[in-house]
């Protein structure tokens, strides 16, 4: 199970600073600070949740199918690809926007 918010990531860690996500190759959740927890895929923090509700997205330049899948499993919105470009939308009634490194979800 991949967490999808700061609260669920905090509960997933259950007092630890680092925990591997079972069944998801090279995927782990790390406590970055007292107010920040990140989902790492390989060595890239693809989703970073902050206790104030902000969520940041990154691909680390690795725009693979699995990177996109890990991001989508951890956010409420959706990242998808069209014509070799990544796009993000917060929901069905929001306008899509180009995916940018470090963007808010």
| 86 found inside a domain | yes
| 79 found inside a domain | yes
Report the relative pairing of strands 18-20 and 27-33 from DSSP bridges.
antiparallel
> Tens-digit pLDDT profile for the chain (105 aa)?
999 999 999 999 999 999 999 999 999 999 999 999 999 999 999 999 999 999 999 999 999 999 999 999 999 999 999 999 999 999 888 899 999 999 999
| 49 found inside a domain | yes
Residue partners of 16: CB distance under 8 A and separation at least 6: 31
| 57 found inside a domain | yes
Query: Which residue range is the domain that position 87 belongs to?
Result: 6-104
Q: Determine which helix (DSSP H) or strand (DSSP E) holds 50, and give its type and residue range.
A: strand 44-50
pTM beyond 0.85: yes
Domain count, the chain: 1
């Amino acid at each position: 199970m991949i967490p999808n918010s700061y609260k669920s990531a905090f509960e997933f860690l259950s007092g630890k600073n680092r925990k591997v996500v079972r069944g998801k190759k090279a995927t782990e959740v790390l406590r970055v600070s007292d107010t920040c927890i990140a989902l790492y895929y390989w060595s890239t923090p693809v989703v970073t949740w902050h206790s104030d509700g902000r969520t940041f997205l990154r691909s680390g330049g690795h725009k693979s199918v699995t990177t996109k899948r890990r991001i989508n499993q951890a956010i409420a919105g959706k990242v998808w690809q069209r014509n070799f470009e990544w796009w993000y939308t917060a929901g069905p009634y929001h306008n899509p926007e180009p995916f940018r490194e470090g963007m808010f979800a």
